[in-house]
């Protein structure tokens, strides 16, 4: 686990972004990256941040069953913190949703077939927790996941816009308006945020893959997106070193790109975790990381509610590369 101090934030619209908004503030901002199945205290860090909330907690979560998290949300509500939650409707009958509702915490469900697949929390309009991890015991202790914590009021405000679309206006999937900002510059670092399906996250990822010069490493719970797969194959054919790991249980799924990757010379392995390799990330030229809730699938691109976080940082890429090396070596056994 490593913290990266970042100072002087400039938010701008760029790279095919969503909404023009240029402003400059001075703020102490940092990015923290944690990985499950490591020494990183993932649950402890999330609970600590929830317990530190003074004004508000907004949570959009696909799955929740961790008692410590539920308790932290209830405790926050009882001490006067505004707590609001959005969940996929598959959580309706689960104990966690029932408990939150019984304690007076408002929960909005998406009430539709595609997933509300987001995993993000906004605390005090200043801290965003996102990544691939659901708030489940298996997600934290058995599956491979990544969690990103960003301290930035401007980025938090961007996530709040997306949260309010779902919680306040009940707009999900294709009904979501394209009203968030995409592109942030923090010191020497760039951060881009895209919400699917409205922001064409797939198109942005393809453009980044097409710009790769030396290497691409990817870890995928599911990979069925033909367009993304084609971009990786094209990168391989033009000389980029492309290697990947795909969750073992999904390599035989209908539409999986796994065999196509192998036929086109991409080094790709089914993962070695006996549970799930649930991360979804791409590392480009050891300097760009793409992560978030977004599986590399048609459903993520067209139907689900998802968020994609892109960080331009060699330091962050190094941390993800270290995690990739671990799961890659495990897959080769």
Of the candidates 131, 159, 117, 120, the one whose C-alpha atom is nearest the C-alpha of residue 40 is 131
Residue 179, both tokens = 């009203």
Q: Is 117 a catalytic residue?
A: no
**What is the CATH topology of the domain spanning 2-196?**
Endonuclease; Chain A (3.30.870)
Q: What is the pLDDT of residues 55-98, one digit of tens each?
A: 999 999 999 999 999 999 999 999 999 999 999 999 999 999 99
Q: What is the pLDDT of residues 296-315, one digit of tens each?
A: 998 998 999 999 999 999 99
Phi, psi of 157 (to 5 degrees): -60, -35
Do the domains spanning 2-196 and 203-289+313-332 agree at the CATH topology level? yes
Beta strands 107-109 and 82-87 are: parallel
Tell me the percentage of the chain whose pLDDT exceeds 90.
85
Which residue among the candidates 77, 117, 119, 280 is catalytic per the annotation?
A: 280
Q: pLDDT band at residue 24, thresholds of 50, 70 and 90?
A: very low
Q: State the pTM of this model.
A: 0.91
Of the candidates 275, 248, 2, 306, the one whose C-alpha atom is nearest the C-alpha of residue 132 is 306
Which residue among the candidates 285, 286, 318, 326 is catalytic per the annotation?
A: 285
Residue 51, both tokens = 């317990």
Point out which residues pair with 280 in neighbouring strands.
220
Q: pLDDT band at residue 16, thresholds of 50, 70 and 90?
A: very low
Which residue among the candidates 117, 217, 236, 278 is catalytic per the annotation?
A: 278
- The rounded distance, in Å, linking the Cα atoms of 178 and 144 is 31
The H-or-E segment that residue 316 falls in is helix 314-332
Q: Is 280 a catalytic residue?
A: yes
In this structure, CATH architecture of domain 203-289+313-332: 2-Layer Sandwich (3.30)
- The rounded distance, in Å, linking the Cα atoms of 286 and 264 is 23
Average pLDDT over residues 210-233: 98
Structural domain boundaries in the chain: 2-196, 203-289+313-332
């Amino acid at each position: 686990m490593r913290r990266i101090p970042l100072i002087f934030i400039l938010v701008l619209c760029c790279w095919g972004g969503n909404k023009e908004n240029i402003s400059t503030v001075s703020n102490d901002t940092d990015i923290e990256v944690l990985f499950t199945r490591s020494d990183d205290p993932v649950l402890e860090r999330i609970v600590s941040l929830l317990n530190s909330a003074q004004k508000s907690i907004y949570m959009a979560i696909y799955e929740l069953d961790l008692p410590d998290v539920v308790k932290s949300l209830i405790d926050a509500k009882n001490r006067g913190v505004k707590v609001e939650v959005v969940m996929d409707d598959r959580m309706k009958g689960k104990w966690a949703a029932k408990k939150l509702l019984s304690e007076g915490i408002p929960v909005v469900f998406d009430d539709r077939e595609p997933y509300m697949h987001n995993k993000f929390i906004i605390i005090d309009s200043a801290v965003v927790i996102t990544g691939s991890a659901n708030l489940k015991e298996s997600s934290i202790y058995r599956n491979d996941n990544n969690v990103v914590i960003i301290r930035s009021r401007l980025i938090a405000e961007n996530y709040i816009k997306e949260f309010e679309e779902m919680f306040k206006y009940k707009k999900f999937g294709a009904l979501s308006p394209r009203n968030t900002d995409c592109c942030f510059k923090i010191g020497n670092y760039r951060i881009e945020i895209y919400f699917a399906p409205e922001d064409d996250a797939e198109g942005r990822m393809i453009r980044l893959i097409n710009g790769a010069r030396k290497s691409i490493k990817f870890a995928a719970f599911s990979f069925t997106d033909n367009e993304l797969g084609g971009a990786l194959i094209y990168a391989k054919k033009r000389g980029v070193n492309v290697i990947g790991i795909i969750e073992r249980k999904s390599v035989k799924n209908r539409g999986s790109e796994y065999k196509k990757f192998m036929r086109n010379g991409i080094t790709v392995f089914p993962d070695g975790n006996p549970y799930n390799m649930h991360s979804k990330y791409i590392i480009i030229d050891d300097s760009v990381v793409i992560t978030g809730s977004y599986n590399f699938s048609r459903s993520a691109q067209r139907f689900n509610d998802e968020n994609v976080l892109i960080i331009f940082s060699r330091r962050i890429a190094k941390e993800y590369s270290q995690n990739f090396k671990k799961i890659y070596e495990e897959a080769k056994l």
